[in-house]
Structure 1
């Protein structure tokens, strides 16, 4: 990324850009023209499918108040029972908990660079795509990577976290 583009990034996105450079990631942080707070908004701004968005969902583990970050395919709903079976009982994470534990606001939670290292799960469905887009610290900022790169840079466990579709009514 050139200095002019770098200077245009909000501070939280610049922090992510710097972290990505430190680990040798070769893709720049991209600013969306409109918000990418939801997977659908990000996909529309990028011209990709919703499923190619690696959305970050934060929970609070009840036993120790640890942040639990699930990075899921944007097309999937997270099955909290599956996540609970893997990491323990979960509670909701409010905006304050998300900001204090990750350093990012809801809608911009990046998979790396957290204040508190989260327990992390990566949706195995992300491996169905040649590349995916993840939040880069700001609701308008994203970066491109492969699911394998995501796994390597985060150390997250790959798991089935998708809520199975309800059976069709007879």
Structure 2
């Protein structure tokens, strides 16, 4: 799985950005024994709190992709986000829309490593954790990173999304 093109793209993006963890170690993609299609499953596999999981959710925002990196401990308030951004129609994207804009499939969408940049919001609830974990391009892949680094490497906007 480490040789999957999506995993390589994510690791290359992390390396190029010089992304690191709270211990100042490089952010490295880790391959889990099984796919983690939910925040709860990922947290269990990593023995961490579900809130430390940075879910990568792609929304269709008036026809444009919007990536919301939200804590696994709660749901995105789409009405709140749409109002804050002046978006008329914000809805969960179809699997085809997600793949078109990220090159990745739902369940493994990473915050980076996409064919081109995607507008990104980063949940401020993730700031309360020393390290957070995000998907690495496929459901079996994840990587650790600090909140500040996640904001930096995604060029994301810290936002209260719940």
Mark yes or no: TM-score above 0.5: yes
| Conservation of the 8 A alpha-carbon contact between 1:82 and 1:160 | no
Give CA deviations for 1:11-34 in whole Å, capped at 9, x if unaligned.
211221112111222121000111
User: Which structure is larger by alpha-carbon Rg, 1 or 2?
Assistant: 1
Distance 1:159 1:8, change over 3 A: closer
Residue deviations 1:35-80 (CA, integer Å, cap 9, x gap):
1111011111101011000001111012xx1101100000111100
1:59-117 deviations in Å (ceiling 9; x for gaps) = 1012xx11011000001111001110122121331100000011111011111122242
Q: Provide the residue aligned with 1:90 in structure 2.
A: 90
User: What is the aligned-residue RMSD (CA, Å)?
Assistant: 1.3
Q: Which SS does the other structure have where 1:120 is aligned?
A: strand
Deviations 1:99-141 (A, max 9, x none): 0011111011111122242221111000000010000101000
Q: Does residue 9 of structure 1 match 2:3?
A: yes
Matches within 5 A, 1:60-75: 60-62=60-62, 65-75=63-73
SS for the counterpart of 2:83 is: helix
The question of whether the paired residues in 2 share the 8 Å contact of 1:67 and 1:116 is answered with: no
In structure 1, distance between residues paired with 2:49 and 2:31:
18
* SS of aligned partner of 2:36: coil
In the superposition, the TM-score normalised over structure 1's length comes to: 0.86
Q: Scaled by the length of structure 2, what TM-score is found? A: 0.90
Judged with a 3 Å threshold, the aligned counterparts in structure 2 of structure 1 residues 68 and 8 are, in CA distance, closer, same or farther, namely closer
Q: Higher relative CO (CA 8 A, sep ≥ 6), structure 1 or 2?
A: 2
| 1:8–1:118 distance in 2 versus 1, CA, 3 Å | closer
Contact between 1:9 and 1:31, CA under 8 Å: does it hold in 2?
no
Q: Partners in 2 of 1:78 and 1:13 — Cα distance? A: 26
One of 74, 77, 99 as aligned partner of 1:76: 74
Aligned residue-pair number: 154
